[in-house]
Homo-oligomer: A and B are copies of this chain.
Amino acid sequence: MDTQSLSYSHPRTSPYKVGVPPKQKFWKEFTTSLKETFLSDDPLRPFKDQPVPRKFILGVQAVFPILEWGRNYNLSKFKGDLIAGLTIASLCIPQDIGYAKLANLAPQYGLYSSFVPPLVYALMGSSRDIAIGPVAVVSLLLGTLLRDEIDPVKNPVEYRRLAFTATFFAGITQAALGILRLGFLIDFLSHAAIVGFMGGAAITIALQQLKGFLGIKKFTKNTDIISVLQSVFSSAHHGWNWLTILIGAAFLVFLLAAKYIGKRNRKFFWVPAIAPLISVILSTFLVYITHADKRGVDIVKHIEKGINHPSVKDIYFTGDYLLKGVRIGIVAGMVALTEAVAIGRTFAAMKDYQIDGNKEMIALGAMNIAGSLTSCYVATGSFSRSAVNFMAGCQTAVSNIVMSIVVLLTLLFITPLFEYTPNAILSSIIISAVIGLIDFDAAILIWKIDKFDFVACIGAFFGVVFVSVEIGLLIAVSISFAKLLLQVTRPRTALLGKIPRTNVYRNIQQYPEATKVPGVLIIRVDSAIYFSNSNYIRERLLRWLTDEDEKLKSGGLPRIQFLVVEMSPVTDIDTSGIHALEELFKSLEKRHVQLILANPGPVVMHKLHASKFANLIGEDKIFLTVAEAIETCSPKFAEED
């Protein structure tokens, strides 16, 4: 390589001094990092320098965004919201009835949950596109967790009371996370884990529908695939009702065809949106005139007419069930939150407006608390209905109000008409709805991008499908955490070489044309040095040295005399890290190798000085860049190069 390259960029002058940042006061450092953790979005910014009455108005508006956007509301916006609201209402009514069954509750509770929570959300929420109501995954999760405690068939009243208790504490959890500004906690469930979990839940829910779809009377209470398939096949020769299957299959084909049409041409988004309601109407009429219910076709039979009862007195505020309700509420609340926030973010990014995560959590929490007091169970944002809402041209949360009013009218006047609705249709509707939760493309992309993420994804999937929803969730969270911990335990290190005709040192693996500098080993440490990895980093650096020395020895080349540690990615170091550096320095001294540091950042420089390590190795062994380190420390080698 050309010897010119090294000299033209850096005239041999004294090296540039590595900056030590001015020492910050402890209190300032502490408050800054606290602010960055909890108030990173600077929520008080608009309040700054405002008179008191204005601050009050801003405060109220912050809690009820409707006061802000409501002032600019107009007829053209309402047109969009009305159409969107009617569309999602027609979609949600049949879904609600089905989802309530997933939660082992009577059908009207699904409708109740599409009445009160959307209203509260419309006042407090900041997403314009989310459609609020019961959703499949949360219903299933809640149903499974509740049934572990109380049998819904034997003790329906206690079961329902525990459901309201769990809903109440789900709301408290959500609101608390928002108020305490701990919203970032839900970021700990990785995208990959959610994809796997949702896919698994979709399959589990679809499998559960086989009961209604095949008209099986005796069905397992477990949700894992093996128990369910055993249940299905053991009842094959006498338990299946062929008329039920016929009706269910016919309408399932209709629903899937509608879905396909909607997917092919986005103009026809309304086809899959109203198909469920059409199916319900048609099939109900069909059963009513053919008396199919007499021939073994299971029907809904009874939905209570009228609006929600107050349920404050039903919530367990004392006793054994309080703790169970709290536990179930926390789990269901977190999962519901994850779904709602993901939806909110997705659509906000599409329309380019901001969602305040913490505020959103308070809104969702308030809506579930209000719901739990009015006979609703946990509601959240629904993926499928939000997409329909968006495509139908919703403008604001008013579409949720429209939907809520339609549900109210349904509860007041129409519920008796659902008497002859066959359960098989509800099953078909749920099956066609949850199929959309299985995201093959996302799973394939995850496989391509990150194998470890894929393990999390598939782990969560299998956990849900083969064991249970909770276990799947547990696996998802554990693998996500394991990944984070692995990152801070076994950070990467890279051997650097000089890129030809530049002054730049880069990873030799990435740039095979980069050349090593004889007698010098340049290693980049790719992580903050903390107690969790300090010993590993020290050992790894020594291992690099041993390996390289062995190679050089077998090649008859001179041994390594300088170890340059490129510290650019080392953003922080703690006391254990400093200890490890000291030990490294001692070991290197014994081997007659000089330790040199390149580009330590401000925090690291500060701590190297505070701990006197900078004095130990010598200030003149710390350089601004690898290039300067190489040049100044081993001029002999640099010129020989």
A interface residues, Cβ below 8 angstroms from B: 8-9, 16, 19-21, 26, 29-30, 33, 36-37, 40-42, 184, 187-192, 345, 349, 352, 357, 442, 445-446, 448-453, 480, 483-492, 494, 499, 502-504, 506-507, 509-512, 526-528, 530-536, 539-540, 543, 568-569, 571-572, 574-576, 578-579, 583, 586-587, 590, 599, 601-603, 605, 607, 610-611, 624-625
Contacts and interface: CB of A to CB of B under 8 A. Distances in A.
B575 A624 contact: no
A616 to B, nearest CB: 13
B532 A187 contact: yes
Contact of A527 (B499, B504, B571): B571
B571 A492 contact: yes
Contacts of A349: 583, 586-587
B37 A490 contact: yes
Contacts of A504: 16, 624-625
Query: Which secondary structure dominates chain A's binding surface?
Result: helix
A532 to B, nearest CB: 5
A607 B486 contact: no
A352 B586 CA distance: 9
A21 B533 contact: no
Given A490-B40, A511-B19, A575-B446, A590 B526 contact: no
B187 A510 contact: no
A574 B499 contact: no
B187 A490 contact: no
B191 A575 contact: yes
Nearest to A586: B349
29 contacts: A9-B9, A19-B506, A21-B510, A33-B452, A37-B486, A37-B489, A40-B490, A40-B540, A184-B536, A187-B532, A187-B533, A187-B536, A190-B532, A190-B574, A191-B579, A349-B587, A352-B586, A450-B575, A453-B575, A480-B532, A484-B485, A487-B530, A491-B571, A494-B601, A502-B624, A504-B625, A506-B599, A510-B602, A510-B605
Contact of A575 (B445, B484, B503, B579): B445
B451 A26 contact: yes
Contacts of A492: 571-572, 603
B601 A510 contact: yes
Nearest to A195: B575
A528 B487 contact: yes
Contacts of A452: 33, 574
Contacts of A510: 19-21, 601-602, 605
Contacts of A572: 487, 492
A483 B488 CA distance: 11
A576 B442 CA distance: 11
Given A503-B503, A569-B571, A352 B610 contact: no
